[in-house]
Structure formats: structure tokens, C-alpha cells
Amino acid sequence: MIDSLLFDFMLIGLLGVGAQWVAWRFRLPAIVIMSIAGLLVGPIFGWIDPEQDFGALYNPIISLAVAVILFEGALNLDFKEVRGLGRPVFRIVTVGAFISWILGALAAHYVAGLSWAVAFVIGGLFIVTGPTVILPLLRQAKLKPRPAKILKWEGIIIDPIGALLAVFAFEIIQFLLGTNGTPSELVTFFLASIFAVILGYGLGKGVGWMFETGYVPEFLKSPVVFATVIACFSIADEITHETGLLSVTAMGMTMANMHISSISDMKHFKENISLLLISTIFVMLTASLNRDTLVEIFNIEIVGFVLLMLFIVRPLSIIVSTWGTDLTKSEKVLVSWIAPRGIVALTVASYFASVLLEAGFEDASILISITFALVFTTVVAHGFSIGWLSKKLGLSMEGPPGVLIAGGSAFSTELGKVLQGLKVPVLISDSSWERLSLARSQGLKIYHGEILSEQTDYHLEMTPYEYMLAATEYDSYNALVCTTFVPEFGRNNLFQLSLSKREGDNLEDLVHTIGGRILIAEDATWEELNKRIESGYVFRKTNITRQFTYKDYLNKLDDDAMLVFVKKPTNKVEFFSHKLELKVETGDIIVSLTPPSKEHVKIQEKLEKQRYESELKQK
């Protein structure tokens, strides 16, 4: 529509990020929205054609983006995370991948009508799932840790394996058919794959060592990693096509298991870059399809092949490969269903379509159509079903947004009790058993451990909790906790108690740059809140109705009361904060920390008097 690369970049970026926002706002699968957006601006309305517009830059852009995405995923593959799941993961990415390759090739030949050569290439390629589609689904579905870890590890490890398997199948076919294939080329392929792993491992070790010994300044760490990832991919890929994916995966896993002190900062940077790349690349790929491809995917042969891959090939490969492991029946059912294909399948398929056509395999012309049919079908089917299925199988942690309170105290315990009474999941965390004793005695869920410890990532499942309150007696620690967990919870969902105003302190500017929002009000310090609890203040719940509006409530509210939070009919919790106005509506439940009633005060005074008289008599 507009002959401008700048317009293409602008539109692709807006659509990609906009699709992510729409998916977040309406709780829809992001990859589905991105795919639809790309189809609309590409083959349907014809506004852009990235493959044609970018020309020779199109494939390198896609390839480098996939490399960065795969590295970012591998950077999360810490072996500590997969303790107890090593056997099923290993079986899935080896035995399961092999079964899926053979069955996929059989389906491609007998159902899709492809020649044996093309069928074995495409069968190897279609074992991939990948972080570009798996990670967004896991964020959406809120699975329990075990199935989530299995799907994540499989998706990241299987991506380079699938690409290499397709290359291996092509090399074998050329050798068997006597077309340009020689034993030396097969040996070269295997040696190149080994070199890719060694290259990734060496670069990962080298970069990690430089970071730990101070050879790279803090501000250059993310750029150095980014440049090294591109170099790692490019060097390996220039030697043998598709080995670059294996190389960056090895580099990411190496750095993940070095436990570098600044690894979390790199993860956050890479996550942001990866999210942007996934958003734009998916739009680019789908926008580059043509209308003939869209029409062709409805051929009965392609439809039959896709159905076989969904309902026969994937379930059989998982059932056989996980036989004898400790996976439950529910976990096997979920893992055998969830296998969406993504960017790697589309990019590698486009490469092999041209290579196979040049080699004289005319049936390779439908490779793009059959790949897009499988990608789009699995993305839609698995994207919309993962939440429902995980709930049915009891593998979902979906529920009302929970609250994680860092710091045990009388105030934390009473707040936890009122949240629990409103059926809001709540967890109180502290490194001291003594500070947790009151919460334990009240039946609240607790976590004993340092919230900032690396071990917390492995022992504390934070998925059910949408809000975090840093409620310890130390202002600096509260600010540190909130700052640390910004990537997980988002700054808007992080709260800390008001800073204690001590003479000589000048902390007013500090909270604007680090930490979370101030909970309740400026004067709601740790000392003040616990003092009120100990003096008899109570949390009161009030229903806002048409007859008793929020305005009526405020008019009758005690001057010493503090507004704490509002629970919406949707189960969402909104906390009152300094300089933050909440919109309270009919149907909401408002919770405040109010002074004890007069009757309660009289009873307390009477008890105190009796205790005093008893002490006098004893003397």
C-alpha cells in the first residue's frame, strides 16, 4: 500500500506489541492475535509484504531474531529447576522426538501425498515446538510447576534438534539418491554440529568468566551478550546451515548454569528483547504469506495430515516416551496435547522448500502451505484449550489473584486473615520462624526462607500471586524486595510500607526511583500499623451498595480509620496507596483498619483493671 520500509517497520511493531496488549487485556492467546494481525495486513488486505519489501534482509532478520529468542529461552534452563524431571524430559526430547519424526514422515507420505524424501525432511522439522509459542502459552495458562517445566524444557531443547534433524534427513536423502551427497558430507555435518555445541559452550563460559572477573563493566554486559549471541549463531550457521540454533542454545544453557551474579539483569533485558522480537517476527511471517497459500491449506490432504499430527502422532510419541516415568496420567494427557509449532518451523520450512525444489522435488512446493496449516491450527487449538484443559486435569494454578506478603508480624497476620476470609490466596514469607509463628497459629499459608534467595525460585511457586506487599520493619529491605520483583509482578502490583520518618533521614526522593507503591498512606509505617493492631484496631469489611454508596461510607468512616483495599466482584483486589485514587463502585467490598468499638474498649479497660487489682493482691 505504501512503498516505505519505515512504514513497514512501524506497522509491524505497532501490530506486534498491540496484539500482545490486546491478549493481556482480554486474556487471549497472544500468538493467535499476532497471527491474525499479520494475516489481515498481509495476504487479506495487502497492505504490506515483508518478504518482498525487505528483500535480501528478510531471511537474516528472521534468523537472527530466532537466535536471540532461543538464547533467551535457554538462559532460563537451570539444571536445578529440572530436578526430578530429568528422566521424562530426556525421554521426550530423544525417544519422543524420534517416534514423532517417523510417525510424522509416515503421515506426510501416506496422507499428505509427499514423496518419501520430502516427507522425512518435514517429519524431522515438525517435531519442534519452541519458546516462541510455548513460553507465551505458559504465561497465559498458569500451569503447575511440573508440567510447565516439562513443556518449557522440551520446547527450548527440541527447537535446534528439529532443525538439525531436517538437515540430517536431507543429507541422508541426497546420499541415498546419489545426488550431491557423499559420506564426507555426512561426516562434515556431524562434525559441524559438535563444533556448534563446543562454540556455544566456549563462548558462554568465556562471557561468564569475563563478567565474574570484572572485565566487562555493568553497563556493557547486556550489549556484550547480545553481540556474542549474534556472533555465535552466525559463525556456526555459516559453517553448516541450522547449526547456529544448536550453538546459541548451548551458550544460553552454559551461562544459565554458571549462576552469574548479574544473570537476572541479563534475563530481564533478554526477555524484553525476546518479547518484542516474537511480536514482530510472527506478524512478519504471517504477513508474508500469499492468498494461494491460504487457499491451499484447506486441501483435504493437508487437513488430514494436520489432524493426524494433533490427535495421533503427538499423543503416541509422548505416551511411549514417558512410559515408566513418574509423570501422572493428567500430566501425560496435557503434555501429549500441547505442542504448538512456531517461528522455527516456518523459517526452516521456507528454507527447505527452496532447497528441495532446486534438488528436483516438485512436491516440496506445498511445504509452506502445510507448515502454516500446522502452525496456525496448533497455535489456535492449543492457545485456546490449554487453560480449560489444565483446569479440568487439575494442573492449573488459575484462581483469584493472590497476595504475597514479605514479612511476618501482627499486622501481616491480621491482613492475611481478612484476605483469606475473602477467599483471596495469601502467603506470608519470612526468614524467621519466630516472626512466622503467629501466622502459623492462625492457619495461614507461610513460606520460611529468604524471599531474595536464589533458592526461592526453586521452592516457592509465585504463579498464584499477583500482588506483593513488602511489610517488614526495615524500609531499605522493603524497597529492595519491591525493586527485585518488578519484572515478575510489575511496579503497579508492588507495595511497601511507608518509610519511617527518622530525624536526619532524607528518603523522600528514594521511593520515586526504587521500591514499590506506598501501601495505605504516608503515615502507615510498620511501627504505626503494628501498634494499632496491638491496641485493638480491627479490619472491617463493608459492602458498597446502591443504598449505601462509597460517599456514604466515607461520611461515616472514623477519622482514625485507614482504607486498606477493595475487593471487586471479579475477585480482583486493589490496594489503597499514597497518591492513588481508587474507583469504588456498587458491589465492591471495602476493607479498612478501624479503631476498636466503644464496647470493645470498655471490655479491655475492665480486663486491665482486673489484672492490675490481681497484681496488687499478690503483692
pLDDT of residue 317: 94
Distant-in-sequence, close-in-space partners of 345: CB < 8 Å, separation ≥ 6: 125, 126, 128, 130, 162, 371, 374, 375
Q: Answer yes or no: is 182 within a domain.
A: yes
Domain interval for residue 487: 402-605
CATH (domain of 572):
3.40.50.720
Q: For 404-424, give the DSSP string.
A: EEES-SHHHHHHHHHHHHTT-
Does residue 35 lie within any of the structural domains? Answer: no
Model confidence over 70-94: pLDDT tens digits? 887 788 777 776 666 778 888 998 9
Residue 612 has pLDDT above 70, yes or no: no
Distance of CA 533 to the CA centre of its chain: 38
Question: Quick one: pLDDT at residue 461?
Answer: 75
User: Residue 27: which region, alpha, beta or left (left: phi > 0; alpha: psi -120 to 50)?
Assistant: left
Residue 397 lies in a domain: no
In this structure, the answer to whether residues 446 and 376 fall within a common structural domain is no
Could you list the beta-strand ranges (E) of 465-514.
Answer: 465-470, 494-496
Range with top average pLDDT, 112-121, 265-274, 513-522: 112-121
Per-residue pLDDT, averaged over 379-394, amounts to 88
Q: What is the per-residue pLDDT for 2?
A: 61
In a domain, 21, yes or no: no
One domain, residues 457 and 372: no
56 compared with 609, residue with greater pLDDT: 56
Residue 42's closest CA among 288, 354, 219? 288
Determine the 3-state secondary structure of 427 from DSSP.
strand
304 and 436 share a domain?
A: no
Share of the chain above pLDDT 70, in %: 88
In sequence order, what DSSP letters do the residues of 169-190 get, joined into one string? HHHHHHHHHTSS--HHHHHHHH
What is the distance between the alpha carbons of residues 15 and 33, in angstroms, rounded to a whole number?
Answer: 9
Say whether 292 sits in a helix, a strand or coil. Answer: helix
Residue 610: inside a domain: no
Report the distance separating Cα 364 and Cα 355, nearest Å: 9
Domain's final residue, options 392, 419, 452: 392
Least reliable range by pLDDT among 168-172, 210-214, 417-421, 428-432: 168-172
What integer pLDDT is reported at residue 610 of this predicted model?
A: 66
Closest CA to 278 of 379, 382, 194, 183: 379
Share of the chain above pLDDT 90, in %: 25
Domain harbouring 227, CATH code: 1.20.1530.20
| Close Cβ partners of 302 (under 8 Å, ≥ 6 residues apart) | 112, 296, 366, 369, 370, 373
Q: What is the pLDDT of residue 608?
A: 65
Decide which of 373, 392, 411 is a domain's last residue: 392
373, with CB counted inside 10 A (0-12, 13-18, 19+), is buried
User: Can you tell me whether residue 577 is helix, strand or coil?
Assistant: strand
> How confident is the model over 204-227, as a mean pLDDT?
89
Residue 599: its pLDDT value, please?
46
Please list, in sequence order, all residues whose beta carbon lies within 8 angstroms of the beta carbon of residue 614, skipping any fewer than 6 positions away: none
The predicted pLDDT at position 459 comes to 67
The pLDDT of residue 395: 87
Please, which pLDDT band fits residue 316 given cuts at 50, 70 and 90?
very high
- Residue-wise pLDDT tens digits, 130-141: 666 787 777 677
Contact present, 185 and 228 (Cβ < 8 Å): no
In the chain, DSSP finds a helix count (H) and a strand count (E) of 27, 10
Q: What's the mean pLDDT in 53-66?
A: 86
Asked whether 266 and 225 are in contact (CB, 8 A), the reply is yes
Is residue 238 one of the residues assigned to a domain?
yes
pLDDT score, position 72: 79
pLDDT, tens digit, for every residue of 479-535?
Answer: 888 888 887 788 888 999 887 655 444 555 554 556 788 898 888 889 999 999 988
Both 323 and 174 in one domain: the answer is: yes
Residues 351, 58: Cα–Cα separation, whole Å: 12
pLDDT of 270 reads: 66
**Are residues 212 and 311 located together in one domain of the fold?**
yes
- Name the domain count of the chain: 2
Q: Where among 369, 392, 415 does a domain terminate?
A: 392
Mean pLDDT of the chain: 84
Q: Are residue 128 and residue 191 in the same domain, yes or no?
A: yes
pLDDT value at 385 more than 60: yes
pTM: 0.72
**Listed residue (287, 218, 250) closest to 51, CA to CA:** 287
* Closest by CA position to 596, among listed 563, 560, 565: 560
Helices 263-287, 243-256: inter-axial angle, 10-degree rounding: 150
Same domain, 381 and 496: no
Q: In whole angstroms, give the CA distance from residue 273 to residue 131.
A: 14
The answer to which of 283-297, 314-328, 510-524 has the lowest mean pLDDT is 510-524
Written as one letter, the residue type at 400 is P
Between CA 70 and CA 239 the distance in angstroms is 19
* Other Cβ atoms within 10 Å of 291 Cβ, number: 11
DSSP 240: S
Note whether 290 and 414 are same-domain residues. no
Q: What confidence category does residue 579 fall into, taking pLDDT thresholds of 50, 70 and 90?
A: confident
Distance CA 122, CA 610 (A): 86
Are residues 325 and 448 both part of a single domain? no
CA distance 352 to 166: 9
Q: Does residue 202 share a domain with residue 69?
A: yes
Residue 318 located in a structural domain = yes
- The answer to whether residues 444 and 356 belong to one domain is no
pLDDT at 311 over 80: yes
**Residue 22 within a domain:** no
Number of C-beta neighbours around residue 327 at 10 A = 22
- For β-strands 538-543 and 517-518, DSSP reports them as unpaired
* In a shared domain, residues 161 and 256: yes
